A = this chain, B = another copy of it.
Amino acid sequence: MAGKSGIAPTFGLMQDWPLTLDKFIEHARRWHGTREIVSRFADGHIERRNYIQIYDDAMRISGALLANAIGIGDRVATLAMNSADHLSAWYGIAGIGALYHTLNPRLFQDQLVYIVNHADDRLIFADGMFAPILAALLPRCPRVRRVVFLTPPAQPVELPVPAVALKDFVAGHDGIYPWGQFDERSAAGLCYTSGTTGLPKGVMYSHRSNFLHAMTSIQPDVLNLSSADTILAIVPMFHANAWGLAFATPGIGANLILPGPCLDGASVHELIINENVTFAAGVPTVWLALLDYLDAQGLGLGSLKRVIIGGSAMPERMLHRFRERGVEVTHAWGMTEMSPMGTVCTLTPRIAALPFEEQVPYRMKQGRPLFTVDMRLVDEDGKVLPHDAKTVGHLQVRGPGVTRAYLGEDRDVLDAEGWFDTGDIATICPLGFMQITDRAKDVIKSGGEWISSLEIESAVSMHEKVALAAAIGVPHPKWAERPVLFLTLKPGEQGEPEEFITFLTGRIAKWWLPDAVYFLDEIPVGATGKVDKKKLRTMVTETEEGGLSAVNSE
């Protein structure tokens, strides 16, 4: 807040206590000091720290940054997997009012170059495993002054700027540096969205927005996080703030387990069992790998009780596979522009009282809005649409965790009433459960009506041979667009287009049945693990030459 200078006579008489992120780690240090932060590294070894150490390390990083002339508003990038050092770096950077800018190492080099330069990053904290990326990147990013390695590169690397190990970077900076002496609206973090269209766009979180989002995430109806939990954060810190876990977890004093780059089924299973994990958060692909591993090895999930799944829609079978192992799965939805959570599929008492099979249609929806998120559906003209589970519209959101503008763009992206258009197409049922039916850019418009690519994908994913499915619209002279379906089958499986059309018949509306089914060894995905439908559209136009199999094409 602005401090006493801005106090009006009609204000309350409560303390001025700005919502800055240092409060989370300060609370953990003082009241949950011995709870553990466990990091896994590329070579499989484990390091254990507690919140007192995380605080001390973050303080040292702040000292070193200040000595390197980094201050309020400066951007410091991180190119790293989840680890205690990455966590300390966030707090050390944000504590002095600089911005942690998470780089997604899976982006294409051109995108990373654009992002680093656009953000004006001054310094990069990086895992050694990403040294080759840096070597390619930095000659094109002249304003980056220094690299700090959180973990050592496997081989010596030639970089155009000085590179130093973290312990050398912080050496001698053992003082107490002032944290949080700025307005809570100050920028704290930066994350670029990398859609498959257009240039990446920078979302700039404030201390306040991250703080409030984390406070909300802790609630029983959201992530339900308690000091008794041991939280496995599989979702990368470079993926939309790791869904706020880096703040919520010290805020409640839970143990935090950070898997580093080891996201294969065996590694994740081992961490869950050895660390007595109770709660885990990640995208569907990681869970798929874990569940397949458990099936193959005949293993269970120990003390794991709850899993939150977001990032992309959960296949229905995943719900059942976790349930068979005694784990409650909660579906969630959000986006980088929302800090990131928007809805969580917590059941209402009435739905929770139904038999499980009748709960499934609700559990497969993206869920109900968190308190601090408001949400509505509008049509193409901005008219508000009803919550009747049938009417499909553009999903808009509003709240303290929602972006109002992208970095470097002059204009607000909100409408006159402050609503942000998510780019998603959705329905909302009378009980308030929202269901994404498509991205606006992926929606298939056939004969004047919308076909949901997600519903086609979801339905065909129940076929036992299917590993991944993607439906897109292709131009059609009569219907404007018609759906076609791409499938990747499970290892060793073979199939004919007809059997999937037969499988879908009765599961979706007849006029939604794809006009063609194509098989790919691998469906192309972007850096955030989402299917690259733009590329798929290109592939369809290449069909004649590319020799992909097709049915039903007219």
Q: Which residues of A are in contact with B by a Cβ distance under 8 Å? A: 1-2, 6-17, 19, 23-24, 26-27, 30-32, 72-73, 97, 182-183, 185-188, 203-209, 212, 215-216, 218-221, 224-228, 251-252, 339, 346-349, 352, 368-369, 371-372, 374, 398-407, 414, 418, 420, 432
Are A187 and B27 also in contact (CB < 8 A) when A220-B220, A400-B17 are? no
Q: What's the dominant secondary structure at chain A's contact region?
A: loop
Assess whether A72 is in contact with B10, with CB atoms less than 8 Å apart. Answer: yes
Residue of A8, A26, A219, A225 most packed against chain B (CB within 10 A): A219
Q: Tell me the complex Cα distance, A7–B407, Å.
A: 14
Assess whether A185 is in contact with B349, with CB atoms less than 8 Å apart. Answer: no
Assess whether B398 is in contact with A15, with CB atoms less than 8 Å apart. Answer: yes
Which residues of chain B are near A183, meaning CB under 8 Å? 8, 11
Query: A205's contact among B14, B203, B224, B420, by CB below 8 Å, is which?
Result: B14
Assess whether B402 is in contact with A14, with CB atoms less than 8 Å apart. Answer: yes
Assess whether B352 is in contact with A15, with CB atoms less than 8 Å apart. Answer: no
Query: A251's contact among B17, B371, B400, by CB below 8 Å, is which?
Result: B371
Q: Tell me the complex Cα distance, A11–B212, Å.
A: 16
Q: Which residue of B lies closest to A97 (CB)?
A: B10
Which residues of chain B are near A228, meaning CB under 8 Å? 347-349, 352
Assess whether A208 is in contact with B399, with CB atoms less than 8 Å apart. Answer: no
Q: Which residue of B lies closest to A255 (CB)?
A: B349
Which residues of chain B are near A372, meaning CB under 8 Å? 17, 23
Residue of A185, A208, A414 most packed against chain B (CB within 10 A): A185
Which residues of chain B are near A403, meaning CB under 8 Å? 13-15
Assess whether B349 is in contact with A406, with CB atoms less than 8 Å apart. Answer: no
Interchain nearest-CB distance for A214 vs B (Å): 9
Q: Tell me the complex Cα distance, A371–B26, Å.
A: 10
Are A221 and B252 also in contact (CB < 8 A) when A11-B187, A216-B215 are? yes
Residue of A221, A224, A339, A399 most packed against chain B (CB within 10 A): A221
- 7 extra A-B contacts, CB within 8 A, seeds A13-B404, A14-B400, A220-B224: A2-B6, A7-B185, A8-B185, A12-B206, A14-B205, A14-B401, A219-B219
Q: Which residue of B lies closest to A369 (CB)?
A: B31
Interchain nearest-CB distance for A28 vs B (Å): 9
Assess whether A31 is in contact with B432, with CB atoms less than 8 Å apart. Answer: yes
Q: Tell me the complex Cα distance, A395–B224, Å.
A: 30
Assess whether A17 is in contact with B399, with CB atoms less than 8 Å apart. Answer: yes
Interchain nearest-CB distance for A54 vs B (Å): 16
**7 A-B pairs with least C-beta separation:** A12-B206, A10-B73, A14-B209, A17-B400, A220-B226, A12-B187, A13-B204
Are A12 and B186 also in contact (CB < 8 A) when A31-B369, A220-B220, A371-B251 are? yes
Assess whether A185 is in contact with B11, with CB atoms less than 8 Å apart. Answer: yes
Assess whether A371 is in contact with B252, with CB atoms less than 8 Å apart. Answer: yes
Query: A12's contact among B207, B220, B374, by CB below 8 Å, is which?
Result: B207
Which residues of chain B are near A24, meaning CB under 8 Å? 371
Are A13 and B406 also in contact (CB < 8 A) when A6-B2, A225-B220, A252-B221 are? yes
Q: Tell me the complex Cα distance, A221–B414, Å.
A: 36
Assess whether A418 is in contact with B15, with CB atoms less than 8 Å apart. Answer: yes
Q: Tell me the complex Cα distance, A6–B204, Å.
A: 17
Q: Tell me the complex Cα distance, A372–B215, Å.
A: 10
Q: Tell me the complex Cα distance, A203–B13, Å.
A: 7
Interchain nearest-CB distance for A418 vs B (Å): 6
Which residues of chain B are near A218, meaning CB under 8 Å? 219-220
A-B residue pairs in contact (CB < 8 Å), sample of 6: A8-B183, A12-B209, A13-B403, A13-B407, A15-B403, A251-B371
Which residues of chain B are near A224, meaning CB under 8 Å? 220
Q: Which residue of B lies closest to A98 (CB)?
A: B10
Q: Tell me the complex Cα distance, A407–B414, Å.
A: 39
Query: A404's contact among B16, B97, B215, by CB below 8 Å, is which?
Result: B16
Query: A27's contact among B15, B212, B374, by CB below 8 Å, is which?
Result: B374
Q: Tell me the complex Cα distance, A208–B1, Å.
A: 11
Assess whether A227 is in contact with B349, with CB atoms less than 8 Å apart. Answer: yes
Which residues of chain B are near A371, meaning CB under 8 Å? 23-24, 27, 251-252
Are A399 and B15 also in contact (CB < 8 A) when A218-B219, A227-B221 are? yes
Q: Tell me the complex Cα distance, A464–B71, Å.
A: 64
Which residues of chain B are near A225, meaning CB under 8 Å? 219-220
Q: Which residue of B lies closest to A6 (CB)?
A: B2
Which residues of chain B are near A414, meaning CB under 8 Å? 15
Query: A204's contact among B12, B209, B418, by CB below 8 Å, is which?
Result: B12
Are A221 and B215 also in contact (CB < 8 A) when A7-B185, A10-B73 are? no
Interchain nearest-CB distance for A21 vs B (Å): 11
Assess whether A11 is in contact with B220, with CB atoms less than 8 Å apart. Answer: no
Q: Which residue of B lies closest to A348 (CB)?
A: B227
Which residues of chain B are near A6, meaning CB under 8 Å? 2, 6
Interchain nearest-CB distance for A435 vs B (Å): 15
